[in-house]
Structure 1
Amino acid sequence: REAQALWGYAKHKFVRRAALVVDSFRRLEILAASDFNAADAWEVLGRVGRVTSIGGGPGNDLLGVWLLMRRLGAVPERMVSLDFAASHWREVFDAFEESLREETAQDGGGGGGPLSLSLDHCDISQSLSAQQNDAVRTEIESGCDLFLFSYVLTETRGQWTEFFLEFWEAANDGTLFYFAEPTPWQHHILLSLFPEWQRNLDYFWIDDSAMTPEEQPLMKRQGPAVLVVWKH
């Protein structure tokens, strides 16, 4: 019964979450035409080689990045999904991995080499230094270029402050971060932790408020709220 529920969830959410990644980063591409910082962040995205999805379940966000990068002509060499319920998602993730490997083989790698995919455990309600987040630290140390967080801030609201304070400090310069949530509520809490993001113009709203700055401080969007942050 649990397996059936997980497959049902994946069927309902997988493509929609992947499409959200693609559509959101396309907005960054549009912003890049008129904003120098967004243009630099977009250029960095085009060189991404290692991607980690935190709270990514069966890999839906990874599919979105893979599709986007394939369009840009260089798919990532390594993609990792880290999730509190990783063991429960194993069967769905393995099916996703097999399908993506077949697709990558058919198009000659999409401009890159052999694709490395893996699934492991994490828990952002614990500190980055906690044993539960060994895999997160490994990806930071290995030079991950892009971290994706989808709906996990809301799910763990009130519990992730310590993790992110340590996480931002440990992340490498040049890293991109993608945050998608049902509303901007948790984004604004995250922004309040890092006032330097505002001073350094480190972040961009890439949801439906991207072209209407007056709406960005609000707690409402027409669709999901999406923020991208660039550490540089």
Structure 2
Amino acid sequence: MDRRWNTTFANFRKRAFALIFSLKEIITGNLGHYSSAMTYRFLMVFSSLIVLLGFLSSFLPFLNPDRVFELINQILPKYASSIFEKLQSIYKHRNLGTILSVLISYFFVVSYAKMFAKLLSDIVETQIKLREVFLWVFIPIYLLFFSISILVGSAFLSFIQAFLPEWLSVLLFIVKIVIFLPIVYFLYWFFLKDLIKPLYILEASVYFLLALNIINFFFSKFFVKLVSLNPLYGLLGSLLLFLIWLELVFSFLLGAVLYAKRLN
């Protein structure tokens, strides 16, 4: 009985020290520089995808250029002609613009994946080697899927959660953990499967998701309060809040790796 108690206490102490160590590095260590780099690269990827979606939307059958001109003329009658001329030039070269947007978006996504692998290598202090085909094809697609589903999906669900009754909020919290846990686990596993035990990768995934939900809870409450006080302040502060939130999310994404490394 004493041996079992000592083992349990030792495991608890090991995890407590790993958690404190990771939080200390998130707040005072170099993870702030890493998360800032990830934030910048993600914004580049996100911007390039928005441009690509803009070109792809021009191929939609119901997007009539004449109708677009009518809308612009109603909203900005003084500048309608000059804006429409620029849109027409873009519309004429939409095929070339779409191809260039695809290439630029792919370049930024691959660069984003390579930087993430480099940051993880620095954190675990071991060079992470991936097959070139794996790095150039699968990892960028999965990392993009991870970023959009986790960042956009969790933020949207947390915003909805702020307006739900308490019992539904708790249920939605559990649903988010169940849905996103496999996505987070496999992202870590692709990079760290040869370096860290699967159990510790799983713990790191749960650690990140709990931190993500706590961050989303406070940011959604603050944003709703800000909008209720003054919608203009909410609009102006939303971009700044988004950047702060994004950097915090990436900090804990990397901090969870430090936690797993400490356990390992």
Give TM class, smaller chain.
Answer: under 0.3
Q: Which structure is higher in helix share?
A: 2
Structure with the larger strand share: 1
Task: Say which one has the larger Rg.
Answer: 2
TM-score for both structures, normalised by structure 2: 0.24
Q: Normalized against structure 1, the TM-score is what?
A: 0.26
Q: Greater RCO between the two (CA within 8 Å, min separation 6)?
A: 2
